[in-house]
Structure formats: structure tokens, C-alpha cells
């Protein structure tokens, strides 16, 4: 397996005539390691420094790896297929959700959950950079905020439809959620009352929030990207992609966003 590169060399001879030639070479690319689980992998997360990798599989297991070895540090069998997972920036904490609705919080040193909590089917999860707060949503329309210290929610809020996407800022101060009835919600960690709610023209299947909570980015099935700043419930700007927006991501510094819609990848400067 390799990638082929081409170089064009252009030179002049003593008379000033231009000569050129094309050379090619192949660089072999191979994984550092690989590991095969017992079924398809539905979810993966990597710590900010790349030291730890957490995966969730349809074989019902959560796995934690260190980058230096294909042997899992540990694995844990849940009650169902693991459909969502996230990891704190330093790899210290891992949150996972299985398709029957149970959430599990782990620390990297043990496969025994710190706590678990049964919610509703197909949860989505996001953890703050320091692992202090976990945001979750599910098919039963609930948004939850948890502290790492307890399976009892700090607060919870019921929307009107399935919560398909959720994101929490690096410091845990802000939470953004997107629902299947076209709604975007923004919350503060201090209250279950939304800071704002915005009605788009399509399902919100992907959402992101900048590390400092300044911007919320949402992709909608009305073919649009929405960008909000934290001070208003009206979009800072929108962009029509001409197809469903399936994924959005924002850079750590909040300067750039990437979107995927149909077969097209787009990069935007937020300002």
C-alpha cells in the first residue's frame, strides 16, 4: 500500500533552453498497528495529545488503547452496542453510550465504570476537556448535564424530539444540542433553561461548539450551515450547501469550520 508522488524538474542548459522531466516515486504507508474487534466499530475518540484512543463496538464492548500498543489497556462489556463515545483532552475520562440507552463513565486506569446511568435509546455524548462535565442527549428527547462525580444529572431538559447531536465547550460552561424537529438549543451549565432556541428548516444531525463556547456551528437537513455567537439567538451567518449537512467541526481556536454535505468538503473562516 503506498501513495505515488510526481515531481517535475525544470532546468535551463547553457544556451538558455528549458528542459524538463517528470520523476515519480512511491511512499509506502502502513498503520502503526491495527486491532480487530468482534463486530463493526460505531464510535471512536482520541485524546487531545493522541496518547489514548477509545472505541465503541457493535460487539457491546468499550475498548481503551494507548497509542504505543495494539493491546487494549482494558475492555468492558456493556449491555448493548456502543453507539457513542468521547474522551477528555488528557485521556483521563471516557464516556460511552450503548444503544439501549445506558451511559458509562470510566477513568483510564480501570475498566470498572465510575458510574452508569440508564437514559433512553441511542444516546449521544460529549465530555469537557478536563472531564468535569458530560452532556448527553437521546431518542426520548432529553438533554442531560452530568458532573463526573455523580450519575445524578446536574440538570435535564426535555425537547420536543430526538436529540441527534450534542457538544460541550472545553471548559464545560456551554452546551449545544440539535434535534430532529429542526431545533438548535444553547445552554449554560448553570441552568436547564435554554439561553436560546432557534428553529431551522430541517433536522439537526450535527453540531459543534468552539473550545471557549463563543461559537455554535450546526448542520441542517435544510441544506444549510448555521453559525451563532454566544450573545444572540440569531445566526451570525448561514450558508446554503445544496444538500443535507451531515457533519460539522470547528478548530480549537474557533477560527475555522469544516463541513461535509453530499460528496463535498468545505472549509470556512468563521469571521
Looking at residue 117, what is its pLDDT? Answer: 97
Contacts 24+ apart (CB under 8 A), 58-67: 58/82, 60/98, 61/37, 62/94, 62/96, 62/104, 62/106, 63/35, 63/37, 64/94, 64/106, 64/108, 64/111, 65/35, 67/32
Max CA pair span of the chain: 82
Specify the pLDDT at position 231.
82
pLDDT by residue for the chain (271 residues), tens digit each?
556 655 555 555 556 565 555 556 566 778 999 999 999 999 999 999 999 999 999 999 999 999 999 999 999 999 999 999 999 999 999 999 999 999 999 999 999 999 999 999 999 999 999 999 999 999 999 999 999 999 999 999 999 999 999 999 999 999 999 999 999 999 999 999 999 999 999 999 999 999 999 999 999 999 999 999 988 899 999 999 999 999 999 998 899 999 999 999 999 999 8
Q: Could you read off the pLDDT of 248-262 as tens digits, one per residue? A: 999 988 999 999 999
Q: What is the pLDDT of residue 6?
A: 59
What is the C-alpha separation between 199 and 231, in angstroms, rounded? 17
Supply the pLDDT for residue 26. Answer: 65
Query: Per-residue DSSP letters for 203-251?
Result: -EEEEEE-TTS-EEEEEETTSEEEEEETT-SS-SEEEE-SS-EEEEEE-
Q: pLDDT (tens digit, 9 = 90+) per residue, 148-179?
A: 999 999 999 999 999 999 999 999 999 999 99
Which pLDDT belongs to residue 53? 98
Q: What is the DSSP letter of 32?
A: S
Q: Please state, in angstroms and rounded to a whole number, the distance separating the CA atoms of residues 53 and 46.
A: 5
How many alpha carbons lie under 13 Å from residue 122 in its C-beta half-sphere? 7
Task: Calculate the dihedral angle through the C-alpha atoms of 107, 109, 110, 113, rounding to the nearest 10 degrees.
Answer: -10
C-alpha to C-alpha distance for 157 and 7, rounded to whole angstroms:
58
Q: Count CB atoms within 10 A of the CB of residue 30.
A: 8
Q: Nearest-CA neighbor of 126 among 193, 244, 220, 211?
A: 211
- Cβ(150)–Cβ(116) under 8 Å? no
SS3 39: coil
Per the structure block, which three cell numbers stand in for 87? 474522551
CA 194/CA 155 separation, integer angstroms: 12
Amino acid at each position: 500500500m503506498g501513495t505515488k508522488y510526481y515531481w517535475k524538474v525544470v532546468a535551463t542548459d547553457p544556451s538558455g533552453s528549458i528542459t524538463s522531466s517528470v520523476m515519480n516515486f512511491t511512499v509506502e504507508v502502513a498503520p502503526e498497528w491495527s486491532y480487530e474487534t468482534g463486530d463493526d466499530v460505531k464510535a471512536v475518540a482520541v485524546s487531545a495529545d493522541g496518547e489514548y484512543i477509545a472505541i465503541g463496538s457493535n460487539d457491546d464492548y468499550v475498548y481503551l488503547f494507548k497509542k504505543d500498543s495494539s493491546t487494549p489497556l482494558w475492555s468492558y462489556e456493556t449491555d448493548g452496542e456502543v453507539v457513542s463515545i468521547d474522551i477528555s483532552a488528557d485521556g483521563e475520562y471516557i464516556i460511552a453510550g450503548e444503544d439501549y440507552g445506558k451511559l458509562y463513565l470510566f477513568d483510564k486506569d480501570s475498566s470498572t465504570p465510575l458510574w452508569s446511568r440508564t437514559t433512553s435509546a441511542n444516546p449521544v455524548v460529549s465530555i469537557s476537556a478536563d472531564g468535569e462535565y458530560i452532556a448527553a442527549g437521546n431518542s426520548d428527547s432529553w438533554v442531560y448535564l452530568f458532573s463526573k462525580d455523580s450519575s445524578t444529572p446536574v440538570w435535564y431538559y426535555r425537547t420536543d424530539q430526538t436529540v441527534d447531536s450534542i457538544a460541550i465547550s472545553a471548559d464545560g460552561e456551554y452546551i449545544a444540542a440539535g434535534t430532529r424537529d429542526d431545533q438548535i438549543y444553547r445552554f449554560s451549565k448553570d441552568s436547564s433553561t435554554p439561553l436560546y432556541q432557534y428553529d431551522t428548516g430541517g433536522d439537526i444531525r450535527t453540531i459543534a461548539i468552539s473550545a471557549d463556547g463563543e461559537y455554535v456551528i450546526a448542520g441542517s437537513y435544510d441544506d444549510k450551515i448555521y453559525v451563532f455567537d454566544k450573545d444572540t439567538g440569531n445566526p451570525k451567518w448561514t450558508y446554503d450547501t445544496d444538500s443535507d449537512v451531515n457533519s460539522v467541526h470547528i478548530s480549537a481556536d474557533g477560527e475555522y469550520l469544516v463541513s461535509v454535505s453530499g460528496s463535498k468538503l468545505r472549509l470556512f473562516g468563521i469571521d
